[in-house]
Amino acid sequence: MTTQAPRFWRSIPQRYNLKGTHCTRCNEYFFPPRNLCPNCRRGAHLEEYTFKGTGTIVTYTTIYNATEFFERLTPYVLAIIQLDEGPRVTGQIVSSPEGVKIGMRVRPVFRVLGKEGDRGIIYYGTKFAPQREQE
């Protein structure tokens, strides 16, 4: 079996903790992280930034026929989420499809993203859940 372990390992900071970058000069946030600010170019001041993970659902779709990797999860919701700092990310929403709405506030949750079958590694990372009422 060919493992994707090195590829997965390289993206652990982004997957576990939404690590991106922030240009302190133009105040733009980037996810996934960029090592060049397209606005400031050579004048950029980039620093590592951990996103809060809270945001708003911009749009979503419900998957009923998934690939082999995800067929046990169907039906599940994939959404584009606008993080509060600005960037948009694609992520799974941990909710029944009926519970998801455009404009809904979400928070990050730590979940299994996938598995390399029964013998390979387990991919962990961030999904999103509807925000609790008090948040």
Binding site for other proteins (CB under 8 A): 12, 16-17, 71-73, 94, 109-113, 121-122, 124, 127, 132
User: Which residue number, 41 or 64, has a Cβ lying nearer to other proteins?
Assistant: 64
CB of 58 vs other proteins, minimal distance in Å: 23
Which residues does residue 86 pair with via DSSP β-bridges, in sequence order?
Answer: none
Distance (Å) of CA 51 to CA 5, 77, 83: 24, 22, 8
User: Which residue number, 16 or 39, has a Cβ lying nearer to other proteins?
Assistant: 16
CB distance 38 to 44 below 8 Å: no
User: Which residue number, 34 or 111, has a Cβ lying nearer to other proteins?
Assistant: 111
User: Which residue number, 40 or 109, has a Cβ lying nearer to other proteins?
Assistant: 109
CB of 5 vs other proteins, minimal distance in Å: 11
Q: b vs e for 104-127, b when ≥16 Cβ sit within 10 Å of the residue's Cβ? A: bebebeeeebbebeeeeeebebbb
CB distance 89 to 83 below 8 Å: yes
CB of 72 vs other proteins, minimal distance in Å: 6
